[in-house]
Chains A and B, each alone.
Chain A
Amino acid sequence: MNDVILTSRMEAFPSDSNTLERYRASGGYLALADALRDMSPEDVAAEVKASNIRGRGGANFPAGVKWGFLAPSEPHYLVVNADESEPGTFKDRQLLERDPHQLVEGVALAAYALGVRHAFIYVRGEYPKPARRILRAVEEARAAGFLGDDILGSGFSLDVTVHLGAGAYICGEETALLNSLEGHRGEPRIKPPFPALEGLYASPTIVNNVETISNIPWIVANGGLAYAAVGPETSAGTRMFSLSGHVQKPGNYEIVMGMTWREFIYEVGGGIRDDNELKCWIPGGASAPWFMPDQLDTPVTIDDVAGNGSMLGSGAVVVMDETTNVVAAAHRIVKFFAHESCGQCTPCREGTTWLEAMLWRILTGSGRPMDLDMLLDVSDNISPGLRWPPAQTTICPLGPSAVSPIRSIMTHFRDEVEAMIPSQEEAPVG
């Protein structure tokens, strides 16, 4: 069994894994040709369902189940979410730059399975090079007959539009992405209705992440059961992890889920820089509650991470060593969410802004003892009960995401926060 699915071509052929010639020479577009000749759309969808692949964008929802929700009314749309913006995440950039045809073939297979005639690939605006690579791949595929009218004589036709964003994290939220693609502000929609019933142009729409769709050619070529057999039962397949922060070897790693965090950080990642001590880490993107060293032996699976009060999210692992000022780190993350709040919902718009202001006050030596409880109080108004998974008073999860770093430092490092607040005797009068 291959240990690597998505990155095998770029590892074997680093100088030209992005070209149509290399993709075809290494088996590319055979799955599409075989599927169009021998399989019904339902057959393809059944393989994806059987693979048990869970969406790689952050929510980890089973992709085959999501596909099953697609309403029958036509037209159907498929949108690939390449708006990779969760701080710490850079895996989709590699897939777009280094193996764009793998994604294009996945788009064609998914569109065939879903009855889609027009698909969109929404690439974040700060990714012009990945957008150039994916656009070239789409044009090459069209010229070679793998996209366009009557693909390979099958009668199936597919148009693909590559769309470039313009700098808004929130457009990674699928309904915000659809609004953006329609030419509106990228504000999330109230769900339900979910996009599978009412999505792009109010038509049934499936939105999938780049990594999810990039797995489809392998799944169709090898069978869904073969994919499901890789890794733990509820975390099937390989997974791209983006490792960054204070590790010796940051980078993207495609691994089979199930190893421990200790193995991932110390063996895969080479351990902490300068042989420093690990202080904490973020297991799944800036939105995720932080893990502490006593969780190093937790397995890296979707369910084990969720069961320990966090989430694997987008697979972004950010490691912090003993030298880290955790209040400054939390402030930087909260600042991100305050900047990226779309402004629709008051608790998020006002709450994230005040959380950032309070953390800044504490960081710069002007914190007040009451700020500690106020941080939690404002957080509670965004995400009532401060529980996990988070409740929300907002349309989308961005607001509650800003609460994660607050909860993390107030739970694990409250003493460090308190130490930054001047005692009342020292505090200036007035």
Chain B
Amino acid sequence: MTTPADWSPDNRDRADRFIAAYPERRSAVMPLLYIAAMEHGYISDDAMAEVAALTGLTAAQVQSVATFYTMYKRQNVGKYLISVCTSISCFLLGADEVLAAVESETDTPDGETSPDDLFSVEHVECIGACGGATAVQVNYELVEGVTPQKAEQLCRWLRDASPDPVLGDEMQALFGGRRSFDWGPKETEGATVPVPAWGPLGSAREAR
């Protein structure tokens, strides 16, 4: 149960802190899978073996967990993961057309990654932004009230401006419309990789 030697020192430290945050080691399997995804770019077989060694589980047990959740990607993911919500509320307000615009502008079909590894495109089930339909996430950072035209502009901007980190407030200002609610204060952290940008996971970065 040691952290993989080839993980970055930051990620090894994060792994130790996650394991310490739960009464039982096994509970850390979910955050550790996110760290492994950051190390490998996706949840590879090696990644699952490493998480198994850390948690005292078998690789098969880790695989059973990793394959249960949609956000653990088992294949390479592009620099920008574009997720278009097509559940009921977004569907009622034209989400299918937004998805089609994203597929067309990125030349990447739903569920696939562009050959240059710049974009991955997916439709997703409800992401809790129904008052701001159609809702889109880029590397899990949210933009609400997206139209097909704005979606095309968003894709072009990702290609041309290469934002790093991806900031929800910035995307909302440039390409968003109606929001589910007033977002309140400016959010200064965003995503640097297609893994949820959440403090302990280390993928969040302050605004440029």
Contact = CB atoms under 8 A, between A and B. Distances in A.
Interface of A: 10, 14-18, 84-90, 92-94, 97-98, 118, 124-129, 131-132, 135-136, 161, 163-169, 180-186, 201, 242-246, 250-252, 282, 286, 316, 318, 320, 324, 328-329, 332-333, 336, 339-340, 342
B125 to A, nearest CB: 5
B127 A163 contact: no
User: What is the predominant secondary structure among interface residues of chain A facing chain B?
Assistant: mixed
Contacts of B30: 163-166, 180, 183
Interface centre among B22, B28, B191 (most CB of A within 10 A): B22
A17 B198 CA distance: 20
Nearest to A7: B181
A183 B89 contact: no
Contacts of B93: 245-246
A127 B184 CA distance: 16
A250 B184 contact: no
A332 B71 contact: no
A324 to B, nearest CB: 7
A329 B92 contact: yes
Contacts of A168: 68-70
B166 to A, nearest CB: 11
B153 interface: no
Given A88-B130, A329-B91, A183 B185 contact: no
Given A15-B185, A166-B72, A329-B92, 9 more contacts: A14-B184, A93-B180, A94-B180, A128-B196, A132-B199, A165-B69, A183-B30, A318-B92, A336-B125
Interface in B155-208: 168, 178, 180-185, 187, 189, 191, 196-201, 204
Interface of B: 21-24, 26-31, 33-34, 55, 57, 64-65, 68-72, 86-89, 91-93, 124-133, 137, 140-142, 168, 178, 180-185, 187, 189, 191, 196-201, 204
9 closest Cβ contacts across the A-B interface? Answer: A166-B69, A167-B70, A183-B26, A244-B130, A167-B71, A128-B196, A250-B131, A244-B89, A87-B126
Given A126-B128, A182-B26, A252 B181 contact: yes
A94 B181 contact: yes
A125 to B, nearest CB: 5
Given A90-B131, A135-B198, A318-B88, A166 B34 contact: yes
A243 B181 CA distance: 11
Contacts of A86: 126
